[in-house]
Amino acid sequence: MVSPDWLALAPHGILGLTAMVLLLYDMIDPDSRNRLALASIATVGSLAALAASAWLLAVGVGPSESVSLFDGQLVVDGVALFFSVVFTTVAALVTVASYDYLADHSYQAEYYSLVVLATTGMVVLASANSLATAFVSLELVSLPSYALVAFLKTNRGSVEAGTKYFLIGALSSAVFVYGISLVYAVAGSLHFETLAAFFAEQGIEQAGVFGLGIVMIVGGVAFKTASVPFHFWAPEAYEGAPAPISGFLSSASKAAGFVLAFRAFNVAFSLDIAAVSGAIDWALLFQILAVVTMIVGNFAAAVQERVKRMLAYSSVGHAGYVLIGLAAITSGGAGGNSIVMGAAMMHLLVYGVMNTGAFLFVGMAEYWGVGRRFEDYNGLSKQAPMACVAMAIFMFSLAGLPPFGGFFSKYVLFLGAIQAGFWWLAAIGAVTSALSLYYYSRVVKAIWIEDPSADFRLRGRPVGLYAAVMLAGVLTVALLPAFGVGIEAAYDAASVLFA
For other proteins, the closer of residues 228 and 264 by Cβ is 228
Strand partners, 130: 191
Strand partners, 65: 61
Q: Is 107 in the site for other proteins (CB under 8 A)?
A: no
The total number of residues shown for the chain amounts to 499
Rg (CA), the chain: 21
Count the site residues for other proteins by CB under 8 A: 38
| Rounded Cα–Cα distance for residues 179 and 182 (Å) | 5
Q: Of 127-135, 216-224, 319-327, 340-348, which part binds other proteins (CB under 8 A)?
A: 216-224
For other proteins, the closer of residues 165 and 361 by Cβ is 165
Q: H or E stretch including 494? A: helix 483-497
From 1, 58, 167, 427, residue interacting with other proteins (rule: CB under 8 A): 167
Listed residue (114, 90, 89) closest to 38, CA to CA? 114
One-letter amino acid for residue 356 of the chain: T
Q: Is 163 in the site for other proteins (CB under 8 A)?
A: yes
| Rounded Cα–Cα distance for residues 333 and 335 (Å) | 6
From 51, 132, 159, 207, residue interacting with other proteins (rule: CB under 8 A): 207
From 121, 211, 240, 333, residue interacting with other proteins (rule: CB under 8 A): 211
Site for other proteins in 304-323 (CB under 8 A): 304
Q: H or E stretch including 67? A: strand 67-69
Q: Is 285 in the site for other proteins (CB under 8 A)?
A: yes
Minimum distance from residue 219 beta carbon to other proteins (Å): 5
Residue 191: strand, helix, or coil: strand
Instruction: Write the interaction track for other proteins spanning residues 405-444; mark x where CB under 8 A is met and - where it is not.
Output: ------------------------------x--x------
The residues near 143 (Cβ < 8 Å, ≥ 6 apart) are: none
Q: Is 232 in the site for other proteins (CB under 8 A)?
A: yes
One-letter amino acid for residue 75 of the chain: V
From 278, 335, 402, 484, residue interacting with other proteins (rule: CB under 8 A): 278
Minimum distance from residue 96 beta carbon to other proteins (Å): 32
CA distances from 278 to 47, 267, 462 (A): 46, 18, 57
Q: Is 288 in the site for other proteins (CB under 8 A)?
A: yes
Q: Is 172 in the site for other proteins (CB under 8 A)?
A: yes
Q: Is 219 in the site for other proteins (CB under 8 A)?
A: yes
From 28, 303, 454, 499, residue interacting with other proteins (rule: CB under 8 A): 303
CA 242 to chain centre: 17
N-terminal to C-terminal alpha carbon distance within the chain: 19
DSSP secondary-structure letter at 206?
Answer: -
Concatenated DSSP letters of 432-459: HHHHHHHHHHHHHIIIIISPPSS-----
From 236, 272, 376, 492, residue interacting with other proteins (rule: CB under 8 A): 236
For other proteins, the closer of residues 179 and 247 by Cβ is 179
Residues that bind other proteins (CB under 8 A): 163-164, 167-168, 171-172, 175, 207-208, 211-212, 215-216, 218-219, 228-230, 232-233, 235-236, 278-281, 284-285, 288, 296, 299-304, 435, 438
